Amino acid sequence: MFRDRGFAGRPGGARGGNQQWMLAALPAFPLVLLVVRLWYASRQDTQTLLLLVQHVSALGLLTAVLLTILWVLPALVLAARALGVLYRVSTGRSSWLSVAADRIPDWVVVVSVVVGLVSWQLRFLPTLAMLSLAVLGLSVHDRRPGRRDLVVVLTLALPGVVGAGLYAWLAPAIGQAFAEGDVVTAVLLTLPPGLSVLLTGPIPARAAAALTSGLAVAVLALTPLFTAAVVVQAPILPLVGVEVAAKGADEEIAGKVLLGYVIATDDRVSTFLDRDGTVRFIANGAVVSQFLCPDLGQIPRSRVALHRWYVEHSVLAWFAPDPLEKPSDSRCPGRPTGRSDRERPGPGGATG
């Protein structure tokens, strides 16, 4: 098979050796991301980095990595399958992209579509539909070139019907995006349904090699960087606020509210990491109160919604129960409540 597709002369042992190296390096990628996240949180200070490594649980950071990879993998699978089959359909030859596409089973493609459907944000679902239709149409061109009726139905009729249905469903959100001036959301909701019909068939052979190879290299180069950028901003610990008494603490923090992360606590002091990377050791007797604060990075940036489904929420978030309505703590912006040092917690932990 490889000889017919232009791979004669390439030793099979070299391919197997390269795959073994790749599989051996895959587990190291999440570990590198974890170290980079702690290094970023420590503001490049070695001692702070060692302190975080000692006390921060790797399970929480690994969860952030896995959640990011969960919606990155469907994009990689669908892009690899579409680009590989597009090259072979357009040129009549095979390449490393085509071989990579052939190694992806159909059931993996189906699972990737389902995972993307439930985990991707609403504004990315038209892109998911576009990629899925492209994979389906190109696969029919590749495997059933003689079935003209099937090719017409799955590459022209089906994308047209799906595109029209998406435009009808997304029309309120598209109009709101243009009215709000949200250009990125408007483009993500408007372009993919219309492009679905154009991406289900072959392209000129001269452009196929450059287009598919360029897109593949761009995806392979940008995916690790994009994943690392998301993980680097993931929270390492719950964001908390600590209100410090006016007396019994350092002059720099006395009577203030500190926002950051509690790394460790013993019977005398609490190790606290400010959001700017400063490590502080605060005596427990100087702590007036401690409270949770919302992460501002999780607040949606777009107000565009479709039937109360915000474009930055996924299907899982839409079907999940609404969060509890809790009043925002006035101390989270860093404003103390004005308590005096007489209101410090006593030995039992209650405020006086």
**Inter-residue contact 263 to 273 (CB < 8 Å):** yes
Residue matched to tokens 């435009």:
167
Burial class of residue 108 (count of CB atoms within 10 Å of its CB; 0-12, 13-18, 19+):
middle
What is the DSSP code (8-state) at residue 156?
I
Q: Rounded CA gap, 133 and 139, in Å? A: 10
* Per-residue model confidence (pLDDT) at position 6: 42
211: closest CA among 350, 115, 303, 90? Answer: 90
177-181 contacts at long range (C-beta below 8 A, 24 or more positions apart): 177/302, 177/304, 177/311, 180/302, 180/303, 180/304
Is residue 92 classed as helix, strand or coil in its secondary structure?
Answer: coil
User: Counting Cβ atoms within 10 Å, is residue 150 exposed (0-12), middle (13-18) or buried (19+)?
Assistant: middle
Helix axes 205-232, 28-41, angle to 10 degrees: 50
The confidence score (pLDDT) of residue 10 equals 44
* DSSP-assigned letter for residue 3: T
The model's pTM is 0.72
The closest alpha carbon to 74, from 121, 108, 30, belongs to 108
Mean pLDDT in order along the chain per 10 residues (352 residues): 42 49 64 77 80 76 73 88 89 84 89 90 91 90 82 86 91 90 89 87 82 86 79 77 80 82 85 84 85 67 80 78 60 60 43 40
Q: What's the rounded Cα separation, in Å, for the pair 274 and 272?
A: 6
- Write the DSSP symbol of residue 254: T
- Counting Cβ atoms within 10 Å, is residue 210 exposed (0-12), middle (13-18) or buried (19+)? exposed
What is the rounded CA–CA span in Å between residue 295 and residue 280? 21
What SS3 state is found at 208? helix
Cβ–Cβ < 8 Å for 249, 285: no
322 Cα distance to chain centroid: 22
How many Å apart are CA 88 and CA 351, to the nearest integer?
Answer: 72
